[in-house]
Amino acid sequence: MASICVGIIVLGADKGKKPFIKGEILSFGQAIAEKINEILEDSQPAPRQASLFPAPTVQGEIRLYKGSCLQIMPTLAESAYDAIITSPPYCNRYDYTRTYALELALLGTDEKGLSDLRQEMLSCTVENRAKDLLRINPRWASAIEAADGQRLLQAILGYLEEQKAKKLLNNNGIPRMVRGYFYEMACVIAECARVLKLGAPLFMVNDNVRYAGASISVDLILSALAERLGFWVESILVLPNAKGNSSQQMGKHGREELRKCICVWRSRPPEGCA
């Protein structure tokens, strides 16, 4: 395939300033080949320093589950896992089904399947309808009770409902989405505590968010819920580069940096147990 490699130079309105150079444009064949080589390189084991007595490497069992964590996790064995590393959807109105619509279409997902998938996943977009969590799993009553009693969460939900009543939200589905996100995450946290061994760590990557000018401390709310549901908080690691806000938030409420965090929790025994 013949191709010409060039660079893109964007001058824009600010003529005379240093041009913004996007870099080389690869042909389709080159781009695909480089990506495949990158995947192959990532799949190789990392080089290890030679040792007189090398430790044996044991390959663990790998299982892939198809379905929502709300459906799959209740089927997993209790106190069976050594660690959990997760980056759940953020409470930021980001519709992952639209982002990966092409890949899903190539896998044979039709329009109805896409809509069903959107509703099955954790509530993180205004198109999510409220889930009947107790119908999914009656054991989650304690998780829902923990969310009901989380004062910061309830204050935020009350504020968003007030903004909705005053017609100050750019989408009336925001209060429902935020409520659904935290209540569903409470159920997920409860399941994580159930399936982990005592003292086992959970690492969760998440971002704080902002709606109607109010910053929502996702890390603190989820950590408070975790303490109610079988964890103790070891640390909350804050990434040095905070994220900004949407143009709608900045235009109306100004800019406010939001934390990007990694929560580190450890499973503890139920209250009353040694």
273 assigned to some structural domain? no
77 assigned to some structural domain? yes
Tokens, residue 272: 């009353």
Strand 201-207 and strand 84-86: the pairing is: parallel
Domain total of the chain = 1
11 assigned to some structural domain? no
Tokens, residue 217: 């401390």
pTM for the model stands at 0.77
CATH number at residue 153: 3.40.50
83 assigned to some structural domain? yes
Task: Name the stretches of the chain with pLDDT < 70.
Answer: 1-18, 20-22, 46-55, 242-256, 270-274
Q: Which helix (H) or strand (E) holds 249?
A: helix 247-253
Which residues, at least 6 apart from 19, have a Cβ–Cβ distance to it below 8 Å? 9, 10, 11
79 assigned to some structural domain? yes
Is the separation of the CB atoms in 38 and 65 below 8 Å? no
Which residues, at least 6 apart from 150, have a Cβ–Cβ distance to it below 8 Å? 182, 221, 224, 225, 228
Q: What is the pLDDT of residue 221?
A: 98
Measured from the Cβ of residue 209, the count of other Cβ atoms closer than 10 Å reads 23
> For residue 245, what are the domain limits?
65-267
For tokens 């589950």, name the residue.
65
Instruction: Name the percent of the chain in helix, strand, coil, to the closest 5.
Output: 40, 15, 40
- Distance between CA atoms of residues 133 and 101, nearest Å: 27
156 assigned to some structural domain? yes
Q: What is the pLDDT of residue 190?
A: 98
171 assigned to some structural domain? yes
200 assigned to some structural domain? yes
Q: What is the pLDDT of residue 187?
A: 98
